Amino acid sequence: MQQPFKNLAQALGLSTEEERKRTRAAEVKARAKSARSKAKVEKAEPTRTESEEEQTLFEQAMTGIKPLKGRGREVPTPVVQAVGRSPAEPHDPVRDLARIVNGECEFLLEFTNEYMQGRVQGLDQRTLDKLKAGVFSVENHLDLHGMNSDQAQIALTEFIRSSYVSGRKCVLVVTGRGRNSPHGMSVLRQELQVWLTRYPLKRIVLAFATAQPRHGGAGAIYVLLRSLKKQRGKVLWEEVFVHLEG
C-alpha cells in the first residue's frame, strides 16, 4: 500500500511515532476542556430534582406559620403621653373661702370686718408684727378702686409678679373700705386674701396685713414678698394669665 503522506512527514522531519503522540495529546486536551465546561454548567444550574427537594423542605418547615402583613418584622409603636402642667385651678370664691375657714390653707390667717392678716406657715411672728406696724418701707403700690373682680384679679397678679421680679420686698394694695358695698364690706378686700393664698401668688407671698392709717388703714393691705430666686419655684406666668383672661 502506498503511503502518500509518508514522504511529506519525512520531509517535515516528523516520524510516524511522533505524529501519533501529538494526535493523542490533542485528543486528551479536547476531552479535558469538554469536561471542565460540563462541570461549570452543572455547578451553576442545579438539577430540577434538587430544586424541587429544597422547595418541599421549605414548605414543610413553614407549615402553620402565618405571614406578617407588610414587609419585615412588625414592631408596635410605643404610645408616648404628652407631659404637661395641669391648667390653673378655676377660681371658686365660695370654695376658696371655705378652705380658709376650715384651715385647708398654707397660711395662718386672722380676719374681721375691719382687719385681716396672714402669714405663710413657718414665718416667724416677729416678721409679721413688723409688717403690721408698717416698719417695712412700701416700695410699690396698686389701687384697685373702680375695678370689678375679674379686672382686679388680673391687675393684682401682674402687679405682684412685676414687683417680685423687680426685687421689691414690701408693696401696698389699696382696695377701699367698701362703705357702698353690701353689708359695708369691700368685696375686693374679701377676695384679696383668697387670691394671695392660692396659686400662683402663694408661691411668692410671705405675709400680708391691714395697713396703718397713714397708708390707708382698713382700705389697704401690706404684702410682704419673698426674695427672688431664679433657680427655684418658677411660676409659669403665661399659663396663669391665659387662664385668668379666659
Bigger pLDDT: 185 or 112?
Answer: 112
Query: Which residues, 6+ apart, have CB-to-CB distance to 166 below 8 Å?
Result: 140
Residue type, 236: L
Contact between 219 and 174 under an 8 Å Cβ cutoff? The reply is: yes
Contact between 169 and 139 under an 8 Å Cβ cutoff? The reply is: yes
Q: How far apart are the first and last CA of the chain?
A: 130
Of 111, 139, 102, 85, the closest CA to residue 196 belongs to 111
How much is the average pLDDT of 93-115?
Answer: 64
pTM of the model: 0.54
Residue 124 has pLDDT above 80, yes or no: yes
Record the cell numbers describing residue 21, joined without a space: 503522540
Convert the pLDDT of each residue in 132-174 to its tens digit: 999 999 999 999 988 999 999 999 999 999 999 999 999 999 9
CA angle 147, 152, 153 (to 5 degrees): 160
Q: Where are the domains of the chain?
A: 6-60, 93-244
Query: What CATH number should be reported for the domain whose range is 93-244?
Result: 3.30.1370.110
Contact between 218 and 177 under an 8 Å Cβ cutoff? The reply is: yes
Convert the pLDDT of each residue in 48-69 to its tens digit: 555 666 666 666 656 655 555 5
Q: Distance (Å, rounded) from C-alpha 111 to C-alpha 138?
A: 22
pLDDT confidence tier of residue 189, bands split at 50, 70 and 90: confident
Q: What is the pLDDT of residue 164?
A: 92
